[in-house]
């Protein structure tokens, strides 16, 4: 619930309202996947997974460690999302200020000032090691959730695997885009999504 409160409500409606439009097919596919995922995980928790104290026996430490791993995920995700937003906000404020100054000098109305999207290399937190730290934190979050649910929690494991298989190609493609846009020297030793590996 915490994850989706942030990701599905706060992020698109409050924190990032200027997101690029999304095609209705992509939205419908994502909704279908999430309803299927919610049904699977809810069914596991409500009746197909461990139900009794005996079923959960010996899982206390795993669940406690899993909660810590899980908590690191959304906190890291929020931090890195905000870092990306702050890069854009700072660049847009600077660009708007310069454009308004120029408009005043030329006697044009300030309301007509337009700014372009600005792309920069993020550098804070895990961005020091990878370019898609927010994806990595998402994986960490759901790996922690899987630990809490138990290693045999098939829906949580499947969800994590689905996330990896859907995000990894985007991260690799995004890495190539960063190298093309900024050059290999500026990207440096950073990897796409797994520090020191990939």
Cα separations in angstroms, 5 against 33, 39, 98, 136: 17, 18, 37, 19
How many CA atoms lie less than 13 Å away from 141 in the CB half-sphere? 20
- Pair 44, 155: CB distance under 8 Å: yes
Question: What does the pLDDT look like over 102-155, one tens digit per residue?
Answer: 777 777 776 665 666 777 888 899 999 999 999 999 999 999 999 988 888 888
For the record, the structure tokens of 189 come out as 């030793």
Query: pLDDT value at position 52?
Result: 79
Ranges under pLDDT 50 in the chain: none
Cα–Cα distance for residue pair 138/78, rounded to 1 Å: 10
- Pair 179, 187: CB distance under 8 Å: yes
Query: pLDDT value at position 14?
Result: 63
CA 33 to chain centre: 17
Query: pLDDT value at position 133?
Result: 94
Q: Which secondary structure element, helix H or strand E, spans residue 167, and what is its range?
A: helix 154-182
Q: Which secondary structure element, helix H or strand E, spans residue 113, and what is its range?
A: none
Query: pLDDT value at position 12?
Result: 66
- Pair 178, 187: CB distance under 8 Å: yes
Taking only Cα atoms into account, the Rg of the chain, rounded to an integer number of angstroms, comes to: 21
Residue 61 burial (C-beta neighbours within 10 Å; 0-12, 13-18, 19+): exposed
Query: pLDDT value at position 116?
Result: 67
């Amino acid at each position: 619930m915490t994850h989706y409160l942030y990701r599905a409500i706060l992020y698109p409606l409050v924190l990032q309202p200027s997101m690029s439009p999304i095609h209705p097919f992509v939205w419908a596919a994502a909704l279908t996947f999430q309803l299927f995922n919610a049904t699977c995980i809810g069914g596991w928790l409500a009746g197909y997974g461990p139900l009794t104290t005996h079923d959960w026996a010996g899982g206390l430490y795993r669940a406690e460690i899993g909660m810590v791993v899980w908590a690191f995920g959304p906190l890291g995700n929020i931090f890195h999302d905000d870092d990306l937003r702050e890069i854009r906000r700072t660049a847009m404020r600077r660009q708007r200020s310069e454009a308004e100054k120029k408009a005043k000098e030329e006697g044009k109305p300030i309301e007509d000032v337009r700014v372009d999207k600005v792309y920069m290399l993020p550098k804070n937190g895990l961005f020091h090691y990878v370019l898609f730290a927010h994806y990595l934190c998402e994986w960490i979050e759901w790996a922690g959730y899987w630990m809490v649910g138990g290693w045999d929690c098939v829906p949580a494991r499947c969800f994590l695997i689905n996330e990896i298989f859907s995000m990894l190609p985007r991260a690799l493609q995004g890495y190539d885009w960063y190298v093309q846009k900024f050059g290999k020297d500026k990207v440096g030793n950073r990897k796409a999504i797994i520090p020191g590996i990939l």
